[in-house]
């Protein structure tokens, strides 16, 4: 209780006002964050339609929204669209969509191949096997949550991609000219 009171009285007045407003009925579109989110999504969609090949440019969502795609009902105060899919399409166009999709596909493909090799050599419960499942699960959760948040440039997305790449690289690290890659994977995962 003392910790809560200390936190409450040390918080800024704006924060306390926001906490007290939880549960209040929204009275206007300016106060409705979902209206702003929908406006941001519409802006991302329109950016893509206006610049389908390369988009409005990486990191330009906020500037493009403020300059070209905002209206009076929703002031653009977010730095991104709060949807990885609208931000990806709006900022990077088809080139970005294809590149990002290929990166995601490569992660899932490499993890699947790695698990297949590990199963073949009887290491289906080892650390590398389980980590490949974990990176797939993390990537799926990022893709699902990406509908409502933008992870396009977020380090967590690239961390998952890096872990997946490191797992594959680590597994192939001991391969030699005489030893097939599958045997090297078995040797690394058994260690």
Instruction: Calculate the dihedral angle through the C-alpha atoms of 174, 179, 184, 185, rounding to the nearest 10 degrees.
Output: 140
Q: Output the six-digit token pair for 99.
A: 């590149």
Count the Cβ atoms, other than its own, within 10 Å of residue 114.
23
pLDDT at residue 122, as a whole number? 79
Residue 24: CA count within 13 A, CB half-sphere = 11
CA-based nearest residue to 77, from 36, 41, 43: 36
Distance CA(153)–CA(134), nearest Å, equals 21
pLDDT at residue 56, as a whole number? 87
CA-based nearest residue to 100, from 143, 134, 138, 50: 143
pLDDT at residue 40, as a whole number? 81
pLDDT at residue 42, as a whole number? 85
Q: Output the six-digit token pair for 157.
A: 């997305």
Instruction: Calculate the dihedral angle through the C-alpha atoms of 106, 153, 159, 33, rounding to the nearest 10 degrees.
Output: -110
pLDDT at residue 188, as a whole number? 53
How many distinct helices (H) and strands (E) make up the chain? 8, 0
Chain position carrying tokens 């795609």:
69
Q: Mean pLDDT, consecutive 10-residue segments, the chain of 191 residues?
A: 72 73 52 72 88 88 76 57 88 93 93 87 81 92 86 85 86 52 55 50
């Amino acid at each position: 209780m003392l910790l809560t009171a200390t936190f409450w009285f040390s918080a800024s007045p704006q924060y306390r006002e926001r906490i007290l407003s939880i549960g209040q009925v929204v009275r206007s579109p300016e106060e409705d964050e979902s209206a702003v989110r929908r406006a941001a999504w519409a802006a991302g969609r329109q950016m893509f339609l206006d610049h389908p090949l390369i988009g409005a440019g990486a990191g330009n969502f906020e500037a493009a929204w403020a300059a070209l795609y905002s209206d009076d009902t929703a002031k653009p105060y977010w730095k991104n669209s709060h949807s990885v899919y609208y931000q990806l399409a709006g900022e990077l166009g088809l080139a970005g969509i294809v590149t990002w999709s290929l990166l995601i596909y490569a992660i899932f493909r490499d993890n699947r191949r790695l698990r297949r090799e590990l199963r073949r050599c009887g290491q289906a419960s080892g650390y590398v096997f389980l980590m490949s499942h974990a990176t797939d699960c993390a990537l799926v959760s990022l893709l699902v949550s990406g509908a409502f948040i933008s992870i396009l440039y977020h380090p967590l997305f690239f961390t998952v991609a890096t872990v997946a790449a490191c797992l594959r690289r680590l597994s192939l690290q001991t391969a030699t000219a005489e030893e097939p890659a599958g045997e090297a994977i078995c040797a690394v995962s058994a260690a």
